[in-house]
Amino acid sequence: MLLPEADLKAILAAALAQGGDFAEIFLERRRTTIISCEENKIERVTSGLEQGAGIRVIKGENTAYGYSNDLNRESLIQTANLVGKALPGQPGPVEITFQRPRAQVEFTIKKSPDQVPVDEKVALVQRANEAARAVDQRITQVTVGYGDVIQEVTIANSAGVLVEDQRVRCRFVVNAVATDGQAIQTGYESVGGHQGWELFESVNPEEQARLAAQRAVRMLEARPAPAGKMPVVMAGEAGGTMIHEACGHGLEADLVQKQLSVYAGKKGQQVASELITVIDDATIPGKYGSYRFDDEGIPGEKTVLIEKGVLKEYMYDYLTARKEGRRSTGNGRRESYQDRPIPRMTNTFIAPGQDDPAAILRETKQGLLVKRMGGGQVNTTNGDFVFDVAEGYLIQDGKVGPAVRGATLTGNGPEVLKIIDRVGSDLGFSLGICGKDGQGVPVGDAQPTIRIPEMVVGGILDEEAKD
């Protein structure tokens, strides 16, 4: 524990001394290792230690927040006093009895990354670098990155929640650059999870490196993407960026309550095709967005957001749940002690359906096949979203045709979800750092192979391609 219970109580009492009705302290100690390799060189090996505490006081719908790196008891009491003063009121008696909630799931970290010598991590990065470079002579640059984080947290609040937790995450990324004298293209692979060094028992770093390099080379030969409306088949292995953007953000309760989501006020209504079930699940062992407790000390859970097209639930944190007099869904997350928690996704996915993924492609005459998605963005207010196609192909007569590059798919969340007409029985995960209100948190996304009868592909017209 980062501070004794008695100190936590004293700090919370100081925070409420001016009359706030809820106080919380979030203590964090984060140790990181980062290794980067480029130009065949181990360029950077970084070790970091960050620690700090964030103190939050809520009164009615108003929040005061403060943070500091100084974990000394007296200094934190001083910070708590300052934060409390921002929300003056009628102070009442403060009595706190701590209870430790039980997590819905236990995660086992088999080999903590701080037990692995740095030279072993460096060797893994070097092997991946060599594997990527061996793929093709046209690979001219390779960047390999490895990072691990051991985050210890203590979360305590005036309602009596006390949680201590340790989150361990490893991540590995490869970015390959291919050049043929004229064009320059890139390929990217990234793996990671709420896992220790055992991540590399299920993931072969050399194989990931080869995949990235092969994609870069393939994209050299790709033609510019077409422009305009067409059917789109998204392969299960493409990742889950679309569901994250098309509906995930719009189901976060803060945006819903502020009327900033197209899904506001639609609980119980049909918002998607009957083929569509969307789930957010923090409890899947080993995934990048998984956790035992959220950053407010609430156990992570599995929440069905949309069931057979009907909107069932939003994602809540403490504050948004309190506004509706209901319980949190355990989605209160923050980037670090420097940030207030807000409702965030964990691992979000479209549940697998009945269709054979191969048949979906076969039965699509023309269109675009998305083999890998890149990043995306959504305007939750009107539901418009975009995402990048990192690997795409034309579909010609139900078969995979030539590769295309530079495409972005543009759509409107509610419109797209309503017209999805095929859902495969497969499920492919991807991971990333999701940004919202300036805070980045690790998330997982997944979806089966699906078909969208019509989406706008942002490519270029043929006349220009010939220039």
Partner 1 sequence: MDYQALEKKYLDVAARVVEKAARAGALVEAYLNAGETLSIEVRNQEVEALTTARDQGLGLRVIRDQRVGFAFTTDFSPAALDLCVEQALANARMATPDAHNCLPARYPGYPSLDLFDPGIIDTPVGQKIELVREIERQARGYDPRVKITESCSYNDSRYLVALANSQGITAAYHAAYCGASTFMVAVENEESQTGFGLAYGLQYKNIDPVKIGREGAARAVRMLGARRVNTQRAAVVLDPYVATNFLGVIAPALAADAVQKGKSLFRGRVGQQVAAPVVNIIDDGRRPDGIASSPFDGEGVPTEHTTLVEKGILKCYLHNTYTAARDGVKSTGNGARGSFKTTPEVGTTNFYIAAGPHTPEEIIKEIPKGLYVTEVMGMHTANPISGDFSVGASGLWIEKGELTNPVRGVAIAGNIINLLGSIDAVGSDLTFFGATGAPTVRIASMTISG
Q: Which of 291, 385, 393, 429 touches partner 1 (CB under 8 A)?
A: 385
Residue 179 touching partner 1 (CB under 8 A): yes
Residue 117 or residue 268: which is nearer to partner 1 going by CB?
A: 117
**Region of 65-73, 100-108, 351-359, 393-401 interacting with partner 1 (CB under 8 A):** 65-73
Q: Which of 200, 387, 393, 429 touches partner 1 (CB under 8 A)?
A: 387
Residue 281 touching partner 1 (CB under 8 A): no
CB of 437 to partner 1, least distance (A): 8
Distance CA 146, CA 38 (A): 12
Per CB under 8 A, contacts with partner 1 among 296-335 are none
Quick one: which H or E segment has residue 167?
Answer: strand 162-179
218, 391 Cβ separation under 8 angstroms: yes
Residues in the interface with partner 1 (CB under 8 A) total: 80
Residue 52 or residue 101: which is nearer to partner 1 going by CB?
A: 52
Q: Output b/e per residue, 119-136; b: 16+ Cβ within 10 A.
A: eebeebbbebbebbbebb
E-strand ranges in 39-117 read: 41-59, 62-68
Residue 65 or residue 98: which is nearer to partner 1 going by CB?
A: 65
**Region of 146-154, 178-186, 346-354, 363-371 interacting with partner 1 (CB under 8 A):** 178-186
447, 280 Cβ separation under 8 angstroms: no
Residues 6+ apart with CB under 8 A from 427: 236, 349, 351, 352, 446, 447, 448
Q: Which two tokens stand for residue 23?
A: 């106080």
Go through the chain and tell me how many residues it has: 467
Residues 6+ apart with CB under 8 A from 393: 368, 369, 371, 400, 401, 402, 403, 404
Residue 151 touching partner 1 (CB under 8 A): no
CB of 358 to partner 1, least distance (A): 28
Residue 81 touching partner 1 (CB under 8 A): no
CB of 346 to partner 1, least distance (A): 22
Residue 386 touching partner 1 (CB under 8 A): yes
Residue 218 or residue 422: which is nearer to partner 1 going by CB?
A: 218
Q: Which of 24, 388, 391, 445 touches partner 1 (CB under 8 A)?
A: 388
**Region of 40-48, 190-198, 307-315, 356-364 interacting with partner 1 (CB under 8 A):** 40-48
Q: Which of 62, 53, 108, 52 is nearest to 85 (CA)?
A: 62
Residue 341 touching partner 1 (CB under 8 A): no
Q: Which of 11, 15, 83, 275 touches partner 1 (CB under 8 A)?
A: 83
Instruction: For residue 447, give the amino acid letter.
Output: Q
Q: Which two tokens stand for residue 401?
A: 């045709």
Residue 69 touching partner 1 (CB under 8 A): yes
**Region of 156-164, 279-287, 293-301, 404-412 interacting with partner 1 (CB under 8 A):** 404-412
253, 320 Cβ separation under 8 angstroms: yes
Per CB under 8 A, contacts with partner 1 among 185-244 are 185-186, 224-225, 227-229
Q: Which of 10, 19, 21, 50 touches partner 1 (CB under 8 A)?
A: 50
Q: Which of 6, 39, 90, 115 touches partner 1 (CB under 8 A)?
A: 39
Place of tokens 């990072």: 147
Q: Which of 135, 239, 130 is nearest to 189 (CA)?
A: 239
Residues 6+ apart with CB under 8 A from 324: 253, 257, 316
Residue 296 or residue 355: which is nearer to partner 1 going by CB?
A: 296
Give CA 40 to chain center in angstroms: 30
CB of 455 to partner 1, least distance (A): 10
How would you classify the pairing of strands 366-378 and 422-423?
unpaired
Residues 6+ apart with CB under 8 A from 81: 14, 15, 17, 18
Residue 55 or residue 450: which is nearer to partner 1 going by CB?
A: 55
Residue 6 or residue 49: which is nearer to partner 1 going by CB?
A: 49
Per CB under 8 A, contacts with partner 1 among 115-134 are 118-119, 122
